[in-house]
Amino acid sequence: MVMPKEAGFSWRPTAEELMVPSTNVFWGARALSIIIRQSEGDLFDALAAYNGGWEQVHLRVTRRYAQSVLLEYARAVAARNGLSPNGYWVATVAALDSPQVLTVLGPQRPLSRYSRRPVMAAIPDATIDGKPTAVAFWPPDGVDLDTRVGIWIALDGRVVRPSEGGEAREGAETAELSLIVPAPMW
C-alpha cells in the first residue's frame, strides 16, 4: 500500500487520489523502483523494505512478505515458460551485473540467501549463468543499470530459457523449453 499525503508524505498523492488504480500502481511502482535501487538489486531486501521500511527488513513479517512475493513471481515466470507452478524447479534471483546476494527458492525448496564471500563454492540448485529466464527489474530511466534484477529458473540442473519469439505461447499444449547447463558459480 502506498502511504498517502495525509500520512506525512507531502509529495505523494492524497488517499482519495490513490483510490484511482492507475495512480496507485504508478506510485507503488515508483516507490518500489527507488527501493530496488537503494538495495543495489537485492530484490528480497527491497520487497521487505517496501513492505515495512528499511528499519523493519529484519522482522519475520516483512521477510515472509518478500518470500511470498518472490515465490509467486517465480511461479508466474515458470508457468509462462511451460513449467508447473508447483513443480520441482528452482529460481535464483540476483542483480544481473554484479550480484552481491543470491536468493534461491522454489515450490519444493525453502528460501536460502547467499552473500558473496572470498571463498569459491558451489551453491546447490542455484545459477546465474548466462541470460536469465526473465528480467524482474530494469530501471526505466536507464540510470543505475547495475541494479537490474534477473530470475533464473532451473529444472534438473539446467536453466529454462524462453522459446524462440519470446515467452511460451498462450494456449500451446506443450511449450518448447530451451535448457542450458549452468557453469559453476562463486
Share of the chain above pLDDT 90, in %: 48
Return the higher-pLDDT residue of 161 and 123: 161
Q: Would you say residue 32 has pLDDT above 50?
A: yes
- Cα separation of 143 and 129, whole Å? 24
pLDDT of 117 reads 67
| CA 37 to each of CA 95, 120, 139, 154, 163: distance values in angstroms, whole numbers, following the listed order | 10, 27, 8, 26, 30
Convert the pLDDT of each residue in 6-22 to its tens digit: 766 677 788 888 899 99
Of residues 86 and 24, more confidently modeled:
86
* pLDDT at residue number 150: 94
In order, the DSSP letters of 6-20 are: GGT-TTSPPTTGGGS
Instruction: Tell me: pLDDT of 184 over 50.
Output: no
Tell me the pLDDT band of 126, cut-offs 50, 70 and 90. Answer: confident
Grid cell at residue 145 = 543499470
What are 148-180's pLDDT values in tens digits? 999 999 998 889 988 655 544 333 333 344 444
Residues 99-112: tens digit of each pLDDT? 889 999 999 999 99
- Does the pLDDT of residue 52 top 80, yes or no? yes
Query: 94: buried, middle or exposed (CB in 10 Å: 19+, 13-18, 0-12)?
Result: buried
Task: State residue 7's pLDDT score.
Answer: 67
